[in-house]
Structure 1
C-alpha cells in the first residue's frame, strides 16, 4: 500500500551478504605458481614431447581435439632445445598450410564441376535415341611390321625424347618418317617440294593415330605442324574411297574440316589443293575439295559439290546455312576435324557445332586441334569422341619457346608514335595486332602517311579486300599487316620477323596465338613486343607475368611486382593456373572470364527475344 513505511536495511543483512562473499573466496596463490599458470596459458610454444614422437595423423587429430576444448597441455619445455622447438613449430605451421591448400583445391573442384557443360557435344538424334559408339572406326592402314614389333619401352623413349605426352587406350606407335607412314608417292613428292623432310613431334604421334581411325584431341604450340596431321590422312582416306568406288554427282563430302575464321579456312583449303594436285600429277584420280566461307558466293562451292566432292573446308555459319537449305548433306561423311576447336566453342559456335553433329548419319572419326585447350574444353569435347587419344606436345596454352617476348610500358597517347620506333627492331615482314577495328584503321592510315608499305584486315572489311591484303603480305609485296584477332588463329605467314601487340588482349590465350605467328619454322627465331599500360586489366597482366616466367623470358620490374591474392597466402606448388580458362596468373576462384560468362547468363534470365522471333517469321 502507498502509506506503508519504507523497509529499513539492518547491519545484520549486510553481514550475511559479506559472509556469502567470504564463502566464495579463492585461496591465495603464490607468485611462483601464478607465473607458471600464466606461462601455460599464454606461451603455447609446442606440444608435449609425447605428441612429437607420435605420427603425423595422430598429431593432427590431437590438434583438433585440443581446439575443441580437450585437455591437451601446452607450455615451455625445459628439456627440449629451442632449435627443436622451432622445428616442431614449423611442422605444425606446414600442416595447417597444407590443409588450407587442400581446402582451396576442393573449392576449385566444386566451381569447375558447377560450371562444367552438362549437355554433351553430340547430335540431337544420337542423344534422343541413346546411341553411343563403343569402338573407333576401323581403317585399312597398318604400320610397318618392324614398328608393330617395337617394344613399349622403345615407343616410350621416342615419346620422351620428343616431349610427347599421350593419354588413351591402345595408343598407336609413334613413327619417325613419312615413308614409314605409308603415304602415296605424290604426297611424299609434295612434302619434298615444301622442304619438309621429317615429321614434327605432333606429326610423329598424331598422323599414325589418325590413320589408325582413332578419335583425337591434339594440343601443340603454334607453328608445330598440326595442319598436316589432319590434312594428309584425309587425302589418303579420300583417295582410297575414290579408287575403290568413284564419287558420282552431288555425292560427298567424305571429310569435313571446320575452321573458326575465313582466312584459316582458305589457308587449309590451299594446302589440301596443293597435295591433291601432287597426287593427281603422279597418275592417281582427282581428289576434289571445296571452300564454303562467308563473303564468297555460294555458287562457287555449289559447282564443286555438284561434281561430287571428297573434302569440304568451311566456317560454321556458312556450313549451317548450306545444311539448312539442303545444298549439301553429310550422309556419307565419316571424317570430321575442328581446327582451333576451343576458339570455336569460346566464340559462341557451340550450338552450331552441336547442330552440325545432328546432320551426320553414322559414326564419324572426330579430331579436335588447338594450341590452347583448357581442361574445361577437353572434358566437354570428350563427350563427342569415342575412346579418344589425347596428344600433348608442351603444356596447353604455353607460348612457343622460339619467340623472344618483350613487354613495354607505353602510355595510351604515345602508342601510335612509338610503333615506328618498334618497326626498326627487325627487318620486314611485321605483324601488328590491335583489339578494335577503329585502332586497326587508325594504325594503317598512320603507317601509310609515314611511307610504310602496309595492309590491314578486320571483320568489317569485305572478303575480297581481306583476301587481297593477306595474299600481298604472304607474297611479301607488303611489309606490314595490321589486323584484329581474325589473323591470330592458325594463319601461317612465312618468315614473319616481328609481332607487335598494340594492346594486350583481354584473354591470354589470344596473346599466345598472336605471338605464335612468328618463329614458326624449325630453327627460326621471332620477336614479340607487347604494349601495356594502366588500362590493361591486372588479372591479364598476372597471366602474362607467369607466361613469361614459364617461357624463361625477361620479366619487366612493373610486372614482377604484381602478386595475386592466392599467391600471397597460399603456395599451391605445381598445381597453378586456372582450370577454367588456362591462365597461369590466377585461380578459378578469381577467373575474370568465368565471372563475365556468369554475369552475361544472369543478365539474360527472364528476357524474351522478340527480335529473333520476328526474324524467324519473316
Structure 2
C-alpha cells in the first residue's frame, strides 16, 4: 500500500511540472547520495547548502555576463546566496570583502565606526537644557515659531529665493532651516526706528555685517536661531536689537508696572561679558528714549551678576519693572528660585557664547532657568565656536530653528596675523618684554593659570609697564576697575585668564600674546579674536614648547593652514595622522570639539569632560578658567 501511494504521488508530480526530479530528501533520515552510498542527514544538509550557494554564485555571474545577450533568469534567483545563506556564510563573505580592502581603507572604516560610536556616547549636554519642564509634563510641543509683527519689505520678498541665495553666496552666508527670511543688505530695510538708523550713520556704520544681514531678519521675525560667526563680526547687535524691539512693542501695548518683567533675557558665561552686553543694550535704549520726537518710551535694563549687591540689582524691578535682563546664570537662577523675579511675560532668551553656556555644569543651570518660562519663547544661540555636538542638540531642541553660519564654526578671524614661536618655559617671561615691542599698545596677554597672571602683572609693573590684571580669584570691584582703565586707555597692557577671552570687545587692541598655548583650540580662537575686530588688522603671538599637548599643536597647525598663515617648522615636521585619514563621515577634524588636527577618538576635551563628570559639578564650575567666580 505505501509503495503504490508513493508511486501515485510521483506520477502526479511528473504530470504537474513535467520533470523527472526526485522528491526533496528528508533531512531527518539517511538516504542515497546518488552513488549508492548512505550518508547522514547532517552531511546531506551541508552538501545541499554548498550546492545552493554555488548555484547562487553561478546565477549571479550568468546574470551579470549573459552568454547569449539575454537575461532569462528569474529575478528571485539573483539573490539566492543572500536569501538562503546562513549568518556564518554572510560573515565569511564580509571577511573576504575586508581582506580585499587595502590597509588604508580598512583603517578608515574602523575609524568611522569608532567615531560614530563615540559621538553617540559623548553627548554631555543635558537633554532638558533648552526645554521647559511644564511643557514636557503636559506633552506640549510647539510646531510653529513665535509670531511677531515684523516682516521683510515687500519689494525684497518679491525678489525671489534665487536672488536671496545669490546675496548669501556673495557674503559667504550659509543657512539651514525652513522658510528662511531673506537677507537684508541695508539697515533701512530692517524697519529699525529712525533714531537708531541716525546713530549708526553718525558712527559711519553704513551697512550690516554678514551675520547681521541674515541674523537680524531671522531674529526680528521671531524664529529660533543658531548664529555662528567669527569674533568681532557684530553678533552682539544681532541679538540685542531684537530684544529691544520686543521690549518696545510690549511697552507700547501695556506699560510695565512695579515687579513686572522682564520681556527678554540675555545670558553670558562671564561677568565681564554680561556687563559689556548690558552697556550695549542700555546705550541703544537710550538712543530711543532721548530722541527729539519723544515718541519712544524708556526701556529699562538690569544687570544681574555675582559679586554685587543683590538689593541694588532688584531695586528697579521692584519700583518700576524691567524690560530686559542681562545676567550670568547663577545670579539669575538665584533670583528666580527665591521668586524675586518671574518670567510671566518673558518671551525672548539669548545665550551668548552658547557652546560654553551648554557645556558641562552650565547646562543644568540653563535648564532650571528655562523651567520658569510660562509660555512659548524665542531662543537664540550665538557663538564663534559651535562644535557639532551642540549644533545637533540645538537643531533637535529648538522650534523650526534657522542656522546662520558665516564661515566655518571655530575658524580663526582672517584679519588677525598669527605668529607662533617656540620659547622655552624658563625664557617666556623675559621674551615677553621683547614681544611687547612688536606693536603699539593696547596689548592683551593671556595665561592658563591665575598664579601666572599675578606673576606677569608684577613683573611688568617692576619693568615700568602700565598693566592691569583680572582673573576669577579677584573681587568684582577690582575686575571692573581693571577693565574700565584698560578700555579708557589709562593702562597699556591687560593680563588675564580666559575670563577675558570670550566675547569682550576691545576695539583698539593691536596685539594679543598667548603666554600659554591653551589646552583647547576653541579658547585659542576666542583669545586671538580680541584683536582684528570690526575690520581692523591685529597681531597674535603664541608661545609654544614641548610642554604643550601634541593634539593641541596639531589643531593649531591646521588652523594656521586654514587661515593661510605661516606654519613654523616645529609644527610642520610633526607627524599628522589627519593627512592619512582625511575627512570621515563628512566631518573635517573632531566632531566633538571642532579641532582640525585630531579626530574624536583622540579628543582631549572628551577626556576632560569625563573627568568633570567624575569630579562633579562643583569642580566643573571652578575649573580655574575664571568662570567659577561668576556665580
- TM-score between both structures, scaled by the size of structure 1: 0.81
CA contact (8 A) 2:385 2:410 kept: yes
- 1:215 pairs with one of 221, 224, 229: 224
- 1:571 pairs with one of 576, 582, 587: 582
Across the two proteins, how many residue pairs are aligned to each other? 526
SS of 1:217 mapped into structure 2: strand
Structure 2 partner of 1:328: 341
Matched, 1:318 2:337: no
C-alpha deviation, 1:599, in angstroms: 4.0
C-alpha deviation, 1:68, in angstroms: 5.9
SS of 1:455 mapped into structure 2: strand
Structure 2 partner of 1:373: 386
Structure 1 partner of 2:437: 424
1:172-214 per-position Cα deviation (integer Å, ceiling 9, x unaligned): 0000111110000121123224332210000000000011100
CA contact (8 A) 2:578 2:597 kept: no
C-alpha deviation, 1:94, in angstroms: 7.8
Over 3 Å counting, the alpha-carbon distance change for 1:302 and 1:69 in structure 2 is: closer
C-alpha deviation, 1:237, in angstroms: 1.4
- Separation of aligned partners in 2, 1:167 and 1:262: 32
- Separation of aligned partners in 1, 2:387 and 2:587: 14
- 1:152 pairs with one of 154, 157, 161: 161
Structure 2 partner of 1:237: 246
Structure 2 partner of 1:550: 562
SS of 1:482 mapped into structure 2: strand
CA contact (8 A) 2:268 2:352 kept: yes
SS of 2:187 mapped into structure 1: coil
Over 3 Å counting, the alpha-carbon distance change for 1:195 and 1:295 in structure 2 is: farther
SS of 1:596 mapped into structure 2: helix
- Separation of aligned partners in 1, 2:415 and 2:349: 31
- Separation of aligned partners in 2, 1:248 and 1:145: 37
Structure 2 partner of 1:30: none
C-alpha deviation, 1:127, in angstroms: 2.1
C-alpha deviation, 1:96, in angstroms: 6.0
- Separation of aligned partners in 1, 2:374 and 2:479: 36
C-alpha deviation, 1:152, in angstroms: 1.0
- 1:101 pairs with one of 92, 105, 108: 108
Matched, 1:589 2:597: no
**Unmatched tracts of structure 2, length 5 or more:** 1-60, 66-78, 83-88, 618-631
Matched, 1:482 2:491: no
CA contact (8 A) 2:126 2:363 kept: no
Structure 2 partner of 1:17: none
C-alpha deviation, 1:241, in angstroms: 1.3
CA contact (8 A) 1:120 1:383 kept: no
CA contact (8 A) 1:189 1:278 kept: no
The within-5 A match list for 1:113-512 is: 113-116=120-123, 117=125, 119-121=127-129, 122-282=131-291, 283=294, 284-306=296-318, 307-346=320-359, 348-512=361-525
Over 3 Å counting, the alpha-carbon distance change for 1:69 and 1:271 in structure 2 is: closer
C-alpha deviation, 1:228, in angstroms: 0.5
- Separation of aligned partners in 1, 2:92 and 2:348: 62
- Separation of aligned partners in 2, 1:436 and 1:105: 36
C-alpha deviation, 1:124, in angstroms: 2.2
Over 3 Å counting, the alpha-carbon distance change for 1:296 and 1:601 in structure 2 is: closer
**Unmatched tracts of structure 1, length 5 or more:** 1-49, 73-91, 606-618
- Separation of aligned partners in 1, 2:180 and 2:93: 56
Bigger Cα displacement from structure 2, 300-309 vs 477-486: 300-309
CA contact (8 A) 1:101 1:572 kept: no
SS of 2:531 mapped into structure 1: coil
- Separation of aligned partners in 1, 2:494 and 2:341: 35
Over 3 Å counting, the alpha-carbon distance change for 1:205 and 1:296 in structure 2 is: same
Over 3 Å counting, the alpha-carbon distance change for 1:240 and 1:604 in structure 2 is: closer
- Separation of aligned partners in 1, 2:416 and 2:260: 45
Over 3 Å counting, the alpha-carbon distance change for 1:348 and 1:604 in structure 2 is: closer
Structure 2 partner of 1:528: 540
C-alpha deviation, 1:399, in angstroms: 0.4
1:216-253 per-position Cα deviation (integer Å, ceiling 9, x unaligned): 00000000000011111111111111112111111100
Over 3 Å counting, the alpha-carbon distance change for 1:499 and 1:309 in structure 2 is: same
Over 3 Å counting, the alpha-carbon distance change for 1:599 and 1:309 in structure 2 is: closer
- Separation of aligned partners in 2, 1:69 and 1:228: 59
- Separation of aligned partners in 1, 2:134 and 2:384: 31
Over 3 Å counting, the alpha-carbon distance change for 1:604 and 1:224 in structure 2 is: closer
CA contact (8 A) 1:123 1:358 kept: yes
1:330-362 per-position Cα deviation (integer Å, ceiling 9, x unaligned): 111000000001012226211000000000001
CA contact (8 A) 1:143 1:180 kept: yes
CA contact (8 A) 2:419 2:566 kept: yes
C-alpha deviation, 1:95, in angstroms: 6.4
CA contact (8 A) 1:120 1:380 kept: no
C-alpha deviation, 1:120, in angstroms: 3.4
- Separation of aligned partners in 2, 1:448 and 1:486: 21
